[in-house]
């Protein structure tokens, strides 16, 4: 069982080393996640006996799974906030990412981008690289799709959320993208998670089709462990026996994620619904049960979509959707819409430090 030890923010390096040494002596191994966060795998009582009496120790707590950094205890119960452009995922806010499944072409993306912005959406999604079950299905526009996303950001002002499939694409993606999505099928692609941990771009981590809540948080821990603290979890439906829709939206996971982790959690109602008419009811359910936002597929002409048009909400219905979720979220105890109060104002300008050839080893970024 993972036990963590939270030290006071004012603890000195000496005090931190003292606590670590005492844990190591009693439990064999200690992990130092940050100056004020230590963990070990042991019994709570053993750890408490070893360091619970020290003045620099604020909190000794057992964590449900092996995810000390992602655990709600590591922040003493305070939910974290992840900024995305002018918006943010976190307490008191309800944030809407919307956009087409795939970037189909220039006009489609600009049209949808403006519709999302005008309806009050906070970020634009769109796939340039698409993970498809069949190798013969449309796989996205690739690099051309990234250029279009960059243009859509320029003309709409919305931050861009898009999926990364291959670590080797990162150098090309980073200048165009504000949040990197890890799809359900890659949730335990640990090589990819490790790489994202070295970046400072926020990550939207979708829960796998058969991933438990704890496995999802351990996947997030891979990213946090690398130093990237901006992780948002996304519940998007799990695989069950029911075939009446596409996936079973696990709405009950939302409060459990909140109990166990400080990370924001949003819901994708589109993939679970599988059909347009069910998207708004599921989005409202997400807003009611305490999620921090939603990510929705929308299209100006669903019938012409190159991917997943059947579940795309027409852009004409975006105002109904966004008004609905904002109102329900307000009733359920959140301030309406994205208050800017907890917005992270770190400079988001990227400075690529890689070599001109853009190899993976250089796919690191710095922040001003």
What gap in Å lies between CA 14 and CA 22, rounded to an integer?
12
Q: SS3 of 162, please? A: strand
Tokens 């970020």 map to which residue?
123
Q: What are phi and psi of 294, to 5 degrees?
A: -140, 160
Give the x-and-dash track for 154-183 against a copy of itself (CB under 8 A): -----------xxxx---------------
Are 230 and 83 a contacting pair, CB within 8 Å?
A: yes
Pairing of strands 82-84, 87-89: antiparallel
Q: Which residue in the set 52, 157, 281, 319 belongs to the binding site for a copy of itself (CB under 8 A)?
A: 281
Of 123-142, binders to a copy of itself (CB under 8 A) are: 131-137
Of 298, 293, 303, residue with least CA distance to 314 = 298
Q: How far is the CB of 325 from a copy of itself (least distance, A)?
A: 9
Question: Interface with a copy of itself includes 363 (CB under 8 A)?
Answer: no
Distance, in Å, from the CA atom of 153 to the CA atom of 176, rounded to the nearest integer, reads 8
Among 255, 304, 319, 340, binds a copy of itself (CB under 8 A): 255
- Enter the DSSP assignment of 62: E
Yes or no: say if 122 and 94 are a contact pair by the CB < 8 Å rule: no
- Residues ≥6 apart with Cβ < 8 Å to 130: 101, 102, 137, 138, 139, 140, 163, 307
The interface region with a copy of itself, picked from 73-81, 95-103, 244-252, 310-318 by CB under 8 A, is: 244-252
Asked if residue 28 binds a copy of itself (CB under 8 A), the reply is no
Judged by CB under 8 A, which of 122, 206, 262, 278 binds a copy of itself? 278
**Residue 304 is a binding residue for a copy of itself (CB under 8 A):** no
Residue 61 or 238: the one with the smaller Cβ distance to a copy of itself is 238
| Residue of the chain from 179, 284, 295, 312 that contacts a copy of itself (CB under 8 A) | 284
Q: Which range touches a copy of itself (CB under 8 A), out of 87-95, 184-192, 308-316, 348-356?
A: 184-192
For position 150 contacting a copy of itself by CB under 8 A, the verdict is no
In angstroms, rounded to a whole number, what is the distance separating the alpha carbons of residues 2 and 71?
A: 10
Cβ 345 to a copy of itself shortest distance, Å = 29
Among residue numbers 41 through 70, which ones bind a copy of itself (CB under 8 A)?
A: 41, 65-67
């Amino acid at each position: 069982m993972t036990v963590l030890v939270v030290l006071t923010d004012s603890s000195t390096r000496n005090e931190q080393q003292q606590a670590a040494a005492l844990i190591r002596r009693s439990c064999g191994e200690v992990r130092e996640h940050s100056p004020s966060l230590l963990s070990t795998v042991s019994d709570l009582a053993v750890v408490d006996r070893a360091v619970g009496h020290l003045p620099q120790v604020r909190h000794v707590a057992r964590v449900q799974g092996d995810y000390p950094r992602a655990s709600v205890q590591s922040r003493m119960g305070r939910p974290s906030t992840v900024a995305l452009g002018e918006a943010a995922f976190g307490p008191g806010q309800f944030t809407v990412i919307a956009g087409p499944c795939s970037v189909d072409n220039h006009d489609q993306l600009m049209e949808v981008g403006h519709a999302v912005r005008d309806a009050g959406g906070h970020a634009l999604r769109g796939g340039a690289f698409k993970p498809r079950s069949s190798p013969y299905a449309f796989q996205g526009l690739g690099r051309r799709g990234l250029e279009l996303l960059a243009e859509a950001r320029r003309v709409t002002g919305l931050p861009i959320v898009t999926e990364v499939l291959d670590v080797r694409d990162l150098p090309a993606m980073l200048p165009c993208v504000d949040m990197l999505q890890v799809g359900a099928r890659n949730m335990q692609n640990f090589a990819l998670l490790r790489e994202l941990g070295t970046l400072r771009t926020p990550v939207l981590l979708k829960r796998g089709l058969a991933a438990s809540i704890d496995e999802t948080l351990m996947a997030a821990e891979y990213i946090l462990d690398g130093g990237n603290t901006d992780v948002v979890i996304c519940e998007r439906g799990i695989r069950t026996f029911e075939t009446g829709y596409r996936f079973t939206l696990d709405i009950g996971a939302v409060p459990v994620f909140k109990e166990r982790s400080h990370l924001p959690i949003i819901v994708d109602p589109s993939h679970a619904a599988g059909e347009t008419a069910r998207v708004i009811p599921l989005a409202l359910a997400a807003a009611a049960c305490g999620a921090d936002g939603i990510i929705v597929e929308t299209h100006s002409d669903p019938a012409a979509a190159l991917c997943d048009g059947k579940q795309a909400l027409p852009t004409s219905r975006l105002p109904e959707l966004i008004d609905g979720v904002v109102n329900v979220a307000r009733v359920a105890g959140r301030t309406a819409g994205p208050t800017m109060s907890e917005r992270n104002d770190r400079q988001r300008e990227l400075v690529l430090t890689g070599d001109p050839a853009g190899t993976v080893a250089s796919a690191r970024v710095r922040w001003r």
